[in-house]
Structure 1
């Protein structure tokens, strides 16, 4: 999450006085959170409006997340040397323009282009907003500031996504995109009031890739990649799954359940890891929960739609929780390059999300029923668990043996 670091020297008193700007940054991440996840809920509406298969419409999630993961760092590097205010402003302009173009899209080609533009803007904004929040507060308040800014993502998912879907059900999916566009404009106006804070560019992609030479880092990042494929591969087509398995086109409640679980998981995992000091065990538990919840989901939905709430909440909680202990492991593996390692993990998560959306569309396009999709994604979660228990654990043990005096 700390893909960039502040370089400006500011007195603690001055920082505390500027903490009031942090909610403005959080408004931007709130808009990002809504935009990143609401499109999955709008999939049937977009598909019907443009006259394209759901598997094709699902690729709008793919291009957004891929551009977030890959395009964001590239364009942020090009903006190196600019003040945070300028970088955040440019990012929000690009993000807002992408959403406006999405709302106007007359065809699949324009839709995918628009989602790519929005993804690039989001990929630049998110890490710089976190770094700016850290620079606007004193060290003892930094954790709270980061939680406020990044909490905008989870709040956008839990509150904004269902609200956007409700709006779309009454006024069309395009009006939901206009709402997100308006949020981006309001956030942009707020960013114009920010004081000057310099930030360093996120680590370039080449430096991130070189960090993979460490076997432990490569294993941890691969686990995150598979986790991203599993989670968003299913979430993107959750509405399609419920229509097939539970025979209902009312899916807002499912988004609420998944998002509410996400908030619980993201709030609880930090204290759990701090208290137990066992991030490896924490990752083991949450991966097992993701796999179990996804594999149980089809049977629960077919029995009664209400029963699907339990696995959805568990999946949401575990899916949002997994990255905190993963980051702990990466920092322990590369303490001298913690920023690079954590940034690499973030890219892996969003790259996995993009691959998951694409593969989900391919699987459905090949004739697999949406009701069976959780079996595919659950199997990927199990593969991540096996990799974690073998490759990652093996790398940890080899390092421990190397560090032990003979």
Structure 2
């Protein structure tokens, strides 16, 4: 269990690092004397490299012990965060954030797989939950704490905290983990075959749009609160979003298991995402009126991917690990795309207070595709290919 907790600590640092810069956006922009739209690309490059690193480097590093790969990933992640804290220009900061994203993208899926291998068979689900829970807690709880810390010591201090957490996780991984062999990555042909499945592609596309609408907007939440509500300290409102995310993440799994209606639950969650984002500008001036839509937005955005994963497993039961990894990449690519599009919108003259309308519209497009393309795809027969069946543990480890 101690080894799994060390893996979870690394995941916590990753989750904190992935989105804490969103809460620090106005502070970083002011310190580096750049626009909020330019500073927002910190999140774009991190999440883009995060999404692309796993499939690329999994092939390059195949065959090496998991301890070596995890230690290397944490070393890259930690050094990149130290470089981020020392950055004196936006260019230097963007390069550092891209490198940190590569380290995070290599670490995350392998940490989950290693936790599954370390845990006894009867406790593998718990081991996976601990590691993956570390990342979600780092995002939805650690981010407000990081923002609060930054208001007392500076945004660089928050990044030094992430650096310290990464260093502790690195030392633990290098000295405590056994020499387990990393599983070979799926062949490129297998990945392409899954993506070409007419049932899988629409689900992945919907997840991509969900990532744009939810995580993409979160990048500019601090800027939205400052522009629409005159709030200089977004900490309490980040807590509201984060608490919603925790509740949504914890509740949706049992709900899907009990009802067996993953598609219907995803439909409701998408609708809630649309409504919660669309009402944000209208209630911003009341301050307290922001709490409920932020909670609903956080809950629906984080919960949405669970029924999406269930749908993917049903669509590709013989290649579920590959399908779910594609879904994960789609979500983070959506986050990167949302951050980039938000920056372009701000640079073109759109006020931060208007961004929720834009993302709500994207969520509407996702909802329409969900009730049309995905619904039609569900009526198609499940394709049968010659491949070894994938266990539930392997599927969860690649989520």
What range is the shorter-chain TM-score in? over 0.9
Alignment of 1:122-133 (within 5 A): 122-133=104-115
Q: What corresponds to 2:83 in structure 1?
A: 101
Note if 1:154 corresponds to 2:136. Answer: yes
Q: Secondary structure at the match of 2:231?
A: coil
Q: What corresponds to 1:197 in structure 2?
A: 180
Picking from 9, 17, 28, the partner of 2:10 is: 28
Partner Cα separation in structure 1 for residue 105 and residue 95 of structure 2: 15
Partner Cα separation in structure 2 for residue 206 and residue 38 of structure 1: 37
Contact kept, 8 Å, 1:74 with 1:204, in 2: the verdict is no
Please list every run of 5 or more consecutive structure 2 residues that lacks an aligned counterpart in the other structure. 385-399
Q: What corresponds to 1:12 in structure 2?
A: none
Alignment of 1:143-182 (within 5 A): 143-182=125-164
Deviation sequence 1:17-69 (CA, Å, 0-9, x none)? xx331100000000001000100001011101111000000001000000000
Contact kept, 8 Å, 2:53 with 2:105, in 1: the verdict is yes
Picking from 272, 276, 296, the partner of 1:289 is: 272
Deviation sequence 1:263-308 (CA, Å, 0-9, x none)? 1000000000000011100110111111110001111112x11110
Note if 1:121 corresponds to 2:103. Answer: yes
Contact kept, 8 Å, 2:73 with 2:106, in 1: the verdict is yes
Partner Cα separation in structure 2 for residue 77 and residue 251 of structure 1: 41
Deviation sequence 1:66-93 (CA, Å, 0-9, x none)? 0000123212321111111111000000
Aligned residues: 382
Alignment of 1:3-402 (within 5 A): 19-192=1-174, 193-203=176-186, 207-302=190-285, 304-399=286-381
Contact kept, 8 Å, 1:133 with 1:142, in 2: the verdict is yes
Q: Secondary structure at the match of 2:182?
A: coil
Partner Cα separation in structure 1 for residue 126 and residue 295 of structure 2: 25
Q: 1:249 to 1:322 in 2, by over 3 A?
A: same
* Comparing 200-209 and 316-325, the one that deviates more: 200-209
Contact kept, 8 Å, 1:41 with 1:165, in 2: the verdict is yes
Partner Cα separation in structure 2 for residue 392 and residue 172 of structure 1: 46
Contact kept, 8 Å, 2:8 with 2:130, in 1: the verdict is yes
Q: Secondary structure at the match of 2:272?
A: helix
Deviation at 1:146, TM superposition (A): 0.7
Deviation sequence 1:112-158 (CA, Å, 0-9, x none)? 11000000000000000000000011222111111100111121123
Q: 1:67 to 1:203 in 2, by over 3 A?
A: farther
Point out 4+ residue stretches in structure 1 off by more than 6 angstroms: none
Q: 1:313 to 1:206 in 2, by over 3 A?
A: farther
Contact kept, 8 Å, 2:6 with 2:172, in 1: the verdict is yes
Contact kept, 8 Å, 1:73 with 1:205, in 2: the verdict is no
